[in-house]
Structure formats: structure tokens, C-alpha cells
């Protein structure tokens, strides 16, 4: 805080001949410095050429005082002008000549700095909308629909700006539904992640000035251009809403342009997104695809299960399970596998016996075999007619579903030749 008293030499007893004083102070940035003279009693002379107090602002003389002044006069006429520019300096000089006819008390002043109100007192503050003063400075702000430019003073129409990357959203022209200032040039980019397509649904008022030509309305001066990759840009104007525009793209650019004439109330739209659709996965021989849906979209998974007795094969390799996802490019990330019939492998050979295929393709699912032992010297443990079927678990299982390693057990006590004696 800058404040204090500045007095003439000898005050209040009075100054002597050839007295002098040089005083100077500077205000901080955003502040002004003022002097308030409380008392003035100097020798009176023409143009204050004998005794005088001179006050300068930034070296420029702003006041020369002598004689005696009443407090009220000082308050109303002198003090208001003893003010520095914002951040400027005040200087004060005092001198007395060689003689005085009577003794004069001199002067007393109180100096102080104070905030400068740039918003009200500085015509050059250049805030185009709002100005807010604060101690030592000021700040500009803008109305809704505008943003403060890089110079911190200028308010420019806010065009929504940036990239709209949410899966749904709402866009509108500047100031909508109030007509915006002229010469608007706004760009909006809707860019959602790949795998989604954007649909634009214009709602409520659609009002963009058009020019009537022989060919019909023409978007000559004002327009909203919709640009979809790999397609011709569409210029929209008039008062008829385009309603719904399905783009089949995940990136859309909207350019809204008005020139400095005419009137367009603007537009607003809701955009929504849909997942891209993958082709129907098709049917699978000896297996099925789950879930069964009428349509498959981005990020949908499908699973494949083979019928009982079949195994999943991909690229010639058996796989435990299979799933594929609908990708952002509307293609399945893996092609469907195939279901191949299971194979139980060669049945185990049987010591002192053999195996006979009864039905089915050799070793494949549901093939049926029968083991036999070399009769009459061996018999099959568990019975002679045990058949084995190639089951879904790739094992040869008997009728009773039990995996039993067949065994030939020797036949005992039954010679092929019997002792015979017919003599009695």
C-alpha cells in the first residue's frame, strides 16, 4: 500500500526563503496515485512565479498552485486533478523565493494509490462484451454462445467446436434458436469409434437463408454443408428440415456458413449411432452357431458348437472352442470352422483274439466293433457278444457304457479231443 503525507519544508510553522522540495512516487500497475491537498498557504504571486508548488503526472505539469486556498476549494477544484495515469508517476516540486512579506505555513498533502477501474474509466479496455474490474487489473467475458478470443478482449461466436466423439449428442448453430451474428463460419466434426455409423436427425427449427433461382432454392450465401467420406458433400439450406440423414459413416463433418448479410435462425440436430452389421455367418454342417439372431452387429460374438460326435477344426487343426467377433469393418474376425467327425483311433489289439468291424466307417464316431477271442482256447471276459461303439468321448465303449479293456481268458479243461472208449 502506497500512502503518506507530503509537506512543504517547515510545515506547519512556515517555510523559509529559498526553501525547496522535490517529491516523486509511482503507482503500481493497474493503480493510479493521487495527492489530496489538505492545506495550502503560499505567497501569492502572478503566475505563481515567486513561491509555488508544481505537480507533474509522468513529467507533465498538471497543476501549479500558490496563494491560499480554502479546504473546500481544494476538495472541489484542485484535488480531483492531482491524479497519475494508471501505473504512472506523480512528482511534486516546491520552491520559495528570497523573501516573503509575511510568514506562510506552506502546504500539506496526503498521497495514496488506488485501483484503477479500467472497465469504467478506460475507454480503451476493448472488452467486446463484458468487463470485470479487479484490484490491479480487469478481465473480459462473453455472452453465452461466444468465447473469448486469444487477445482476451474479443468475443467470438462459439461454434460448438472440437470433435463430438460420444455415441450420441446434440449440435446446434451458434446462438440457436436466436439468429447469430453475421459472418459465421463454424465447423463441427462428429467422429465416433470405428464400428459405429452416425445418423443425423434434424429437430425443431431448420432455417438457413436460401436464394430462389430458376432451378429452385440455392444455398448461395448461407449453408450447412454435410461432408461424408467418399461421398459428394451436401449443401443444406431453406426452411424444410432434412429430418433424418443416415450416413453409414463414423465420421461426419458439418460446415455452417453465413455471410455478413441476410438472416438464418439456424438449426439443431440430434445425432445417434448404430453398430455396423456383419454378414450372416451361415449354416454349419454338423454343428450350430449360437446365438441365433436375425442380424449381427459390431462387437457381437458368435460361438460354434459341433454336434455330438464331431470336433471343431480350423486350418486343419482341432480347436477346443470357437468364437468370432463382428469387427468394426463389418467382417467377422475369424471365418467359421468346420465340424469333422470324431475318430476313436485304432481299437486296441487283443492278445489271443482280434477285432471285427461291424458297422460304420472305420474308427469314426458310432462305428461298431466286436472283439473276439481265439476260440475254443480263449473266451472274452464278460461274454462273447460284447460290442464296442466309438463314442463322443473318442473312446470305444461297450454296450454298458463302460470302458473295459477286453481280455481273452483261457478256456480250461476242455480238450479238443476226448478220450473215448466204446469197449465195455
Interacting residues with other proteins (CB under 8 A): 352, 377-378, 410-419
The 3-class SS string of the chain reads CCEEEEECCCCCCCCCCCCEEEEEEECCCCEEEEEEEEEEECCCCHHHCCCEEEEEECCEEEEEECCEECHHHHHHHHHHHCECCCCCEEEEEEECCCCCCCCCCEEEEEEEEEECCHHHHCCCCCCCCEEEEECCEEEEECCCCEEECCCCCCEEECCCCCEECCCCEEEECCCCCCCCCCCCEEEEEEECCCCEEEEEEEEEEEEECCEEECCEEECCCCEEEEECCCCCCEEECECCCCCEEECCCCEEEEEEECCCCCCCCEEEEEEEEEECEECCCCCCCCEEEECCCCCEECCCEEEEEECCCEEEEECCEECCCCEEEECCCCCECCCCCEEEECECCCCCCCCCEEEEEEECCCCECCCEEEEEECCCCEEECCCCCCEEEECCCCCEEECCCCCCCCCEEECCCCCCCCCCCCCC
Min dist CB 375 to other proteins, Å, is 11
Determine the Cα–Cα distance for residues 303 and 319; give it in Å rounded to an integer: 13
C-beta of 39 vs 372, nearer to other proteins: 372
For residue 383, the minimal CB distance to other proteins (Å) is: 18
Cis peptide before 33 (omega within 30 of 0): no
CB of 377 to other proteins, least distance (A): 4
**Residue whose CB is less far from other proteins, 400 or 417:** 417
Backbone angles phi, psi at 226, to 5 degrees: -105, 120
With vertex at residue 67, the alpha carbon angle to CA 63 and CA 71, rounded to the nearest 5 degrees, is 80
Show the cell assigned to 341. Answer: 467327425
Amino acid at each position: 500500500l502506497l500512502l503518506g503525507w507530503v509537506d512543504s519544508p517547515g510545515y506547519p510553522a512556515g517555510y523559509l526563503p529559498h526553501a525547496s522540495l522535490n517529491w516523486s512516487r509511482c503507482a503500481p500497475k493497474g493503480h493510479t496515485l493521487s495527492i489530496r491537498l489538505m492545506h495550502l498557504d503560499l505567497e501569492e504571486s502572478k503566475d505563481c512565479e515567486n513561491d509555488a508548488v508544481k505537480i507533474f503526472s509522468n513529467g507533465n505539469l498538471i497543476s501549479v498552485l500558490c496563494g491560499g486556498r480554502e479546504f473546500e476549494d481544494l476538495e472541489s477544484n484542485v484535488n480531483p486533478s492531482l491524479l497519475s495515469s494508471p501505473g504512472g508517476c506523480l512528482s511534486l516540486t516546491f520552491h520559495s523565493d528570497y523573501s516573503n512579506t509575511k510568514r506562510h505555513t506552506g502546504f500539506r498533502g496526503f498521497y495514496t494509490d488506488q485501483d484503477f477501474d479500467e472497465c469504467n474509466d478506460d475507454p480503451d479496455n476493448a472488452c467486446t462484451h463484458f468487463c470485470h474490474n479487479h484490484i490491479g487489473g480487469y478481465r473480459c467475458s462473453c455472452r453465452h454462445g461466444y468465447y473469448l478470443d486469444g487477445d482476451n478482449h474479443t468475443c467470438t461466436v462459439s461454434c460448438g467446436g472440437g470433435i463430438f466423439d460420444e455415441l450420441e449428442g446434440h449440435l446446434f448453430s451458434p446462438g440457436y434458436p436466436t439468429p447469430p451474428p453475421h459472418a459465421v463460419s463454424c465447423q463441427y466434426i462428429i467422429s465416433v469409434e470405428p464400428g459405429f455409423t452416425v445418423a443425423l436427425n434434424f429437430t425443431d427449427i431448420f432455417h438457413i437463408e436460401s436464394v430462389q433461382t430458376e432451378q429452385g432454392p440455392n444455398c448461395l450465401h448461407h449453408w450447412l454443408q454435410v461432408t461424408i467420406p467418399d461421398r459428394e458433400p451436401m449443401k443444406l439450406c431453406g426452411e424444410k428440415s432434412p429430418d433424418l440423414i443416415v450416413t453409414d459413416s463414423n465420421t461426419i463433418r458439418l460446415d455452417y456458413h453465413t455471410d455478413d448479410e441476410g438472416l438464418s435462425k439456424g438449426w439443431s440436430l440430434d445425432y445417434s449411432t448404430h453398430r455396423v452389421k456383419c454378414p450372416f455367418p451361415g449354416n454349419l454342417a454338423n454343428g450350430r452357431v449360437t446365438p441365433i439372431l436375425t442380424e449381427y452387429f459390431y462387437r457381437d460374438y458368435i460361438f460354434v458348437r459341433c454336434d455330438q460326435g464331431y470336433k471343431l477344426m480350423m486350418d486343419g487343426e482341432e480347436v477346443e472352442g470357437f468364437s468370432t467377433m463382428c469387427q468394426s469393418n463389418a467382417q467377422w474376425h475369424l471365418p467359421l470352422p468346420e465340424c469333422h467327425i470324431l475318430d476313436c483311433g485304432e481299437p486296441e489289439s487283443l492278445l489271443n483274439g482280434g477285432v471285427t468291424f461291424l458297422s460304420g466307417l472305420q474308427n469314426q464316431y458310432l462305428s461298431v466293433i466286436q472283439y473276439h477271442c481265439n476260440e475254443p482256447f480263449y473266451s472274452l471276459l464278460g461274454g462273447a457278444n460284447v460290442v464296442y461303439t466309438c463314442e463322443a468321448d473318442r473312446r470305444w465303449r461297450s454296450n454298458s457304457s463302460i470302458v473295459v479293456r477286453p481280455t481273452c481268458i483261457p478256456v480250461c479243461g476242455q480238450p479238443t479231443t476226448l478220450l473215448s472208449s466204446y469197449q465195455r
